[in-house]
Amino acid sequence: MLNVNEQPKIKEVVPLRNMGFWALWAVGVGAVVGDGIFLLLGEGIQVAGPSSVLVFAIAGIIQGVVMISLAELAVGMPSAGAMSVWIERFLGGWWGYFAGFGFTAGWIIAGGSTGIAIGRLTCWFFPMLDPEFWTVAFGIIFLSIFAGLNLMGAAIAARTQLLFVAILIGVMVIFGIASMKDMNPDNFSPFMPYGVAGCMAALPLGTYAYQGAVTLTTAGAECKNVKDLPKALVWSSITFIAVYTLCMIGVIGSVPWQTISMSVSPFTLAAESIFGYAAGFIMNIAAWLAAATCIIMGTLYASSRVFYHMAKIGQMPKLFGYLNPKTKTPTYGIIVIWALSVGMILLGTINADLVFITLSNQIVITYAVIWILALIAAIMYRRRCPDEVKAGNFKVPLFPVLPVIGIIGVACVLYACMAHYISSFLITVAWVLLLAFYYKTVVSKRPRPENS
């Protein structure tokens, strides 16, 4: 492993720097995995009952701690590769490769599951259609539209994201406040019907719902002012934790938790129960917007940027390193990621719920390991590179307490995955071992491009 003080900085073809604070905030809030909040919450309520509200809030707080703890690195080492760059610099090539590949693979899987969610949510508006066929059709159609937006440029995708997120947050805040007046306190009893075991089973589901927000760290190379990035990391965390927790309390208080499942968004059921069909219609639009923003800036934006960085340093095929001369977007990366996400939607036709839950836990396990590695890198960065930290003009508050809290919180998520979703954990171990073999025998033997 290279000495951190001798390792050359990553030199990349710089994309257009055209994202301001509000666009960045929208990325952080919108990348919260929409299908996790609006559909997987149903599974969380089934396994943990009313206590799922508390569990999802804890998962959101863990995600917020991770995001703020990484802000120092995001400002000091802004790069499309984000965590893969930081981890490689401080922990070595294999770990950086694993972080980049795992992060992107997770988002592609999320693209498939979120595409299925968009299909289901769209079918709700058209009950006369065959849901089995049209769930897939709508998922592919909208995934294709969002890919087109990303191909047109980061600013266009970000403006669309900002519009969608503004509408989404507005609807959710109105629902959360309005639902308070008709809450039934009896719906919260018993609060923990399945005890601590049920809460631990729901923790990975809550983590999946919030995990996309850390995608914001990949936007460092496209910020108008990189100092806006830590502000966006902090305020997007506060926004999604506060708004979604408020709304989840409204859901549980409005609908008996025993009647909730993953077939329909719990928010749609609650809105329809309280305010009638029109409110359910509006809430289903909000769920649709949440899934859409997740795909726009999670699957398509973040994944293509990480692949772009990995191609520039020789870890991925060169085509992923191509930038469109006009839009400065990684064209081939977006197209390939679109195709893979379509494949994941088609895979979901086998058994959507089983694929959904199994693969979502795969993502959680992989991301949890990456977050721990990144938090270790953040601690090493402060200690080994004080001059760079000072030049970045941002310091993580309560250092090193906050990153350590993040590591402990993420470790609890990993434990919950191992204890309650062992098959997903074993599958993850298997593919990571195969990836390590590929890295050792193929990737590590490739010559590293100059200036990388």
Task: Indicate the DSSP class of residue 20.
Answer: -
Question: Which tokens in the block code for residue 62?
Answer: 């863990």
pLDDT of residue 49: 92
Residues contacting 128, CB < 8 A, separation 6+: none
Contact 448, 97 (CB under 8 A): no
Assign 394 to helix, strand or coil. coil
Distance CA 375, CA 90 (A): 11
DSSP state string for 173-217:
HHHHHHHGGG--GGGG-SS-TTHHHHHHHHHHHHHHHHGGGGGGG
How much is the pTM? Answer: 0.85
Domains of the chain by range and CATH?
21-443 (1.20.1740.10)
- Single-letter residue type at 269: L
Residue 223, φ and ψ in degrees, nearest 5: -80, 140
Contact 62, 207 (CB under 8 A): yes
pLDDT tens for each residue of the chain, 452 residues long? 444 444 434 344 445 566 788 888 887 787 775 656 676 788 888 899 999 999 999 999 999 999 889 988 888 888 777 888 999 999 999 999 999 999 888 888 888 888 888 888 899 889 899 988 999 999 999 999 999 988 988 778 878 878 888 888 888 898 889 888 878 889 998 999 999 999 999 998 888 888 877 777 777 767 778 778 888 888 888 898 898 899 889 989 988 888 887 667 788 888 888 888 888 888 888 888 888 888 887 788 888 888 888 888 888 888 898 888 888 889 999 999 999 999 988 887 776 666 666 777 788 889 999 999 999 999 999 999 999 888 877 888 899 999 999 999 999 999 998 887 788 788 888 999 999 999 999 988 877 766 55
Distance CA 75, CA 8 (A): 17
pLDDT of residue 224: 79
Distance CA 329, CA 332 (A): 9
